[in-house]
């Protein structure tokens, strides 16, 4: 299979168009964000199934919950930084507490809006959403996983928060695989160290594993596409096998993937775990690529830190 670099949000639109044509109850709602979410084609092909609420993220969530109460299957797309912060009360009460079938799509997540700075970074969304009962938290790694994830979401009746990045992502998967919400995927086997990643950092972890092979270091790579439900058993098995673990995420070092891994390993002994993410500070301004490199989340930096842990 030829590797491609396609933005996950583009694949989301393609899947939603197909699913919505087959099921008129599927609706897409946006907060003046159809362009950012790559949903312009959906609006053209299915204008009666798209609702534009304007820059009103709290209304977006509450309207979606009301539609779900009436039997519709809404997908609400808005920038992750605003959806997970401005609307968190509505997410907690109207969607999760009420257990309504709303799929909340946080677009341009992490540092995708890099040059716009801290106001547009969503580096706390995993922490807050994974602490809310009844709410799944999902992050696809590439276009292939995005397709499978949104096909599963279209058939699911469970509330979910899904984070998507803004930029094209190089393929992580080389062949078809069985996707299941809540089940981690081993991308590469290894014996010396385990790299656990989520979302766009999966590609970085795989790149790091390739670089480590040049140093005769064998790295297992585990993709956590479901932060909630979380596959604790897969994490434990991988960690116990290698005894060294690095978790990497496009998120604050607090409350995200690293915290979930630490929670899973809290009763185990003899395992070293290093959390790599963004520090507890206002980040520098720059592109995603620049920020990943500066803060040590790119493949080369991960390989260097993993090699140090092994040696």
Active site residues: 57
Hey, CA dihedral for 112, 114, 119, 122, is it positive or negative?
positive
- What is the token pair recorded at 240? 């116990």
Q: Which of 19, 223, 18, 8 lies closest to 105 in space, CA to CA?
A: 8
- What is the token pair recorded at 29? 């709602």
Alpha helices, H only, the chain: 8-22, 40-45, 57-69, 80-83, 88-90, 125-129, 143-155, 201-213, 232-242, 257-264, 288-294, 299-310
- What is the token pair recorded at 215? 């140093």
Place of tokens 């993937």: 257
- What is the token pair recorded at 1? 């299979």
Contacts of 194 (CB under 8 A, 6+ apart): 219, 220, 221, 222, 238, 239, 241, 242, 244, 245, 246
Q: What is the rounded CA–CA span in Å between residue 62 and residue 282?
A: 31
What is the CA angle 5-214-234, rounded to 5? 65
């Amino acid at each position: 299979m030829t590797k491609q670099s396609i933005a996950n949000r583009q694949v989301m639109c393609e899947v939603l168009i197909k699913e919505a044509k087959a099921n008129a109850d599927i609706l897409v709602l946006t907060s003046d964000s159809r362009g950012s979410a790559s949903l312009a084609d959906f609006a053209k092909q299915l204008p009666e199934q798209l609702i534009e609420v304007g820059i009103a993220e709290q209304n977006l969530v509450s309207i979606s919950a009301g539609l779900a109460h009436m039997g519709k299957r809404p997908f609400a797309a808005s920038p992750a930084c605003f959806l997970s912060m401005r609307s968190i009360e509505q997410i907690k009460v109207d969607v999760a507490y009420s257990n309504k079938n709303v799929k909340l799509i946080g677009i341009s997540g992490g540092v995708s809006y890099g040059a716009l700075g801290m106001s547009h970074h969503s580096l706390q969304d995993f922490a807050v959403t994974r602490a809310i009962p009844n709410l799944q938290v999902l992050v696809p790694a590439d276009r292939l996983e995005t397709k499978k994830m949104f096909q599963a979401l279209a058939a699911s009746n469970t509330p979910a928060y899904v984070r998507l990045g803004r930029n094209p992502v190089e393929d992580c998967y080389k062949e078809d695989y069985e996707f299941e919400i809540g089940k981690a995927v081993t991308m590469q086997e290894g014996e010396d160290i385990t790299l656990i990643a989520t979302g766009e950092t999966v590609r970085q972890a795989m790149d790091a594993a390739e670089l480590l092979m040049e140093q005769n270091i064998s790295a297992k790579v585990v993709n956590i596409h479901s932060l909630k439900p979380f596959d604790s058993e897969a994490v434990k098995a991988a960690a116990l096998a290698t005894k060294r673990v690095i978790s990497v995420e496009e998120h604050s070092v607090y409350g995200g993937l690293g915290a979930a891994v630490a929670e899973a390993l809290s009763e185990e002994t003899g395992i070293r775990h290093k959390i790599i993410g963004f520090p507890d500070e206002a980040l520098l301004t720059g592109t995603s690529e620049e920020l990943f490199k500066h803060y040590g989340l790119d493949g080369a930096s991960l390989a260097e830190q993993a090699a140090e842990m092994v040696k």
